[in-house]
Amino acid sequence: MLVDPLDEKVTGLKIPKAKDDIILNREFFETEKKKSEVFEISSPGEYEVKGVFVYGVESQNEYPKIVYRFEIDGIVMAHLGSISKMLDDEATSELGGVDVLLVPVGGHTVLSADLAVKTVAQIEPRVIIPMYYKIPGLKQEMETAEKFLKQLGLKWEEQDKLNLKKKDLTEETQVVVLKV
Mean pLDDT by 10 residues, the chain (180 residues): 64 64 58 60 88 87 78 93 90 93 92 96 96 80 92 94 91 91
Name the residue range of residue 55's domain.
Answer: 2-178
Q: Supply the pLDDT for residue 29.
A: 44
Counting residues of the chain whose pLDDT is more than 90, the rounded percentage is 48
pLDDT attached to residue 103: 97
pTM over 0.75: yes
First to last CA, the chain: 18
What is the pairing mode between strands 64-72 and 75-79?
Answer: antiparallel
Work out how many domains the chain is built from and give that number: 1
User: How many angstroms separate the Cα of 69 from the Cα of each of 4, 47, 142?
Assistant: 13, 10, 25
**What does the pLDDT read at residue 141?**
80
Which CATH number belongs to the domain containing residue 39 in this structure?
A: 3.60.15.10
Residue of 167, 149, 170, 166 whose CA lies nearest to 158:
149
